[in-house]
Amino acid sequence: MIYSIYNQTRRTYRILITLIAILINSQINAQTNPEDITNEKERIELSKHNIYTDLNFATFGQITLNYERKLIKKNKTILYGRLGAGYGGNLKGNSGYGGIGGLTILTGKNNHHFETNFGIFIGDNIKREYPERLNKRKAFFMPIIDAGYRYQKPGGGLILKAKIVFVGVGVGVGYAF
């Protein structure tokens, strides 16, 4: 079983790396609009730091508090690194507190953005029906793949998110600075 989870995780990371490479490469080869060049100095950048909470209802439900930091900006695409902590569970009965590591790709302009998240939730499996086994906890892993809409003003302020999660939906609210 552990070998099966290991193979799933490796497969998820391969897909993640391939998608990121395709997105970054497509932005490098994109054409530039002359209006964008003249207004570049006047344009306010999106924030460098974001803090938000996510609530997902899916085959894997979770509530997390997340921190994002801007890593790369190319034209209208921004890559954020993401770290978070919270509680998650899946239909197999695995649930517990854990952490998130991942990447967020944000595209768009002004206040309206398309967002894609890739990452992994690693949790400490707590099964309450067997108290004598509490010392034998096992970690569980769940891939995070979601896409959706993000409202975020340039320069900082309120963040609102609505997304489609891997077989489900999710919402989020936070603050950018």
3-state SS, one letter per residue, for 57-97? EECEEEEEEEEEEEEEEECCEEEEEEEEEEEEEECCCCEEE
Task: Please tell me the distance from the alpha carbon of residue 89 to that of residue 79, in angstroms, as a whole number.
Answer: 27
Tokens of 154: 């340039």
In a domain, 41, yes or no: no
Percent of the chain residues topping a pLDDT of 90: 51
Instruction: List, in order, residues 6 or more apart from 126 with CB less than 8 Å away.
Output: 95, 96, 97, 134, 137
Q: Which amino acid is at 154?
A: P
Q: What is the pLDDT of residue 60?
A: 85
Residue 66's domain is classified under what CATH number? 2.40.160
Q: What is the pLDDT of residue 139?
A: 87
Cα 162 → chain centroid: 12
Task: Please tell me the distance from the alpha carbon of residue 102 to that of residue 61, in angstroms, as a whole number.
Answer: 17
Structurally, how many domains does the chain consist of? 1
In a domain, 31, yes or no: no
Instruction: List, in order, residues 6 or more apart from 75 with CB less than 8 Å away.
Output: 27, 30, 32, 36
In a domain, 35, yes or no: no
Provide the domain limits for residue 69: 2-26+46-126+135-176
Q: What is the pLDDT of residue 47?
A: 93
Instruction: Please give the C-alpha separations between residue 162 and each of 38, 55, 114, 143, 147, in angstroms, as whole numbers.
Output: 33, 10, 10, 19, 9
In a domain, 10, yes or no: yes
The stretches of 78-171 forming alpha helices (DSSP H) are: none
pLDDT beneath 50: ranges in the chain: 1, 29-31, 34, 36-38, 41
Report whether 25 contacts 150 (CB < 8 A).
no
In a domain, 38, yes or no: no
Residue 134: DSSP 8-state: G
32-71 confidence digits (pLDDT tens): 554 544 455 456 788 999 999 999 998 888 999 999 999 9
In a domain, 32, yes or no: no
In a domain, 34, yes or no: no
3-state secondary structure of 9: helix
